[in-house]
Amino acid sequence: MTMDADLETMRERYLDLSAELVEAAVDRHDGVLNELRPPRFDGSDEKELRKRLAQCNQRIASICDRIRLFERQAGGRIGVPALLGGDVPNPLRIALTVLATRVISHGVTAETRTVAFLADVCAGNVPKDNLIVVESCRSNGVLRPHIHFDYGRTIGELADLTLTEASFRRLLALEPDAEMALLAELRRNGNRRIVR
């Protein structure tokens, strides 16, 4: 198998695992956590909902472990190590995966509408995990250089989060795109004309 074919196979496997992780995180948020919050939650079936939440958390942890193993087997050429140079806690892994998925699918646009909502989806109702995601989006946070957003009044209100094109391409071991690099340079320069 050639290097390009090997990389294409790895990319396909990584995208499959990523889709599984995003689906699990969204299912946990929409299917269980929203049911545990007022006004939906009336106190009945709490034991069953907590059991479902524990099962969702186990599924997510298992998927994250499988992705980490895959990234190690790929020699860090794809995924979180390719982008950040190392591993991150599960809530950040989920956030990065949701942001990458948004680049290729509008199915997760709602999950990236604000930092606070992204943190809620990625943290599973664990305050310290919410804080990890929110802090990663601050000006000195690990995700900040890799995202575009519209400013809000607070860090939680940074809105319309998207992964930068360069970060998306590095995450998936795709060749740099000259057109996207030019657009990124224009954006950095306030859409002023670039003279070369």
Question: Per-residue pLDDT tens for 105-164?
Answer: 877 777 878 888 899 999 988 899 999 999 999 989 999 999 888 877 777 777 788 898
**8 Å CB contact between 124 and 33:** yes
The residue segments making up the domain with residue 70 are 3-188
Q: Which whole-number Å values give the CA distances from 182 to 100, 103, 175, in the listed order? A: 20, 18, 15
- Residue 170 in domain: yes
Residue 13, pLDDT above cutoff 60: yes
For the chain, what is the domain count?
1
- Residue 7 in domain: yes
- Residue 195 in domain: no
Tokens of 51: 């059991």
Residue 62, pLDDT above cutoff 90: yes
Q: Which pTM value belongs to this model? A: 0.83
| Partners of 162 in the β-ladder | 148
Residue 4, pLDDT above cutoff 80: no
**Helices of type H across the chain:** 3-27, 46-73, 80-84, 90-104, 115-123, 127-136, 165-171, 178-188
Q: CA 104, CA 175: separation in Å to the nearest integer?
A: 16
- Residue 144 in domain: yes
- Residue 49 in domain: yes
Residue 43, pLDDT above cutoff 60: yes
- Residue 194 in domain: no
Question: Per-residue pLDDT tens for 156-174?
Answer: 777 788 898 889 999 999 9
- Residue 76's pLDDT band, with cuts at 50, 70 and 90, is very high
Residue 195, pLDDT above cutoff 50: no
- Residue 193 in domain: no
- Residue 22 in domain: yes
Largest CA distance in the chain: 66
Q: Is the peptide bond before 39 cis (omega within 30 degrees of 0)?
A: yes
**8 Å CB contact between 124 and 63:** no
Residue 60, pLDDT above cutoff 90: yes
Q: CA 91, CA 135: separation in Å to the nearest integer?
A: 11
To the nearest whole number, what is the mean pLDDT of the chain? 85
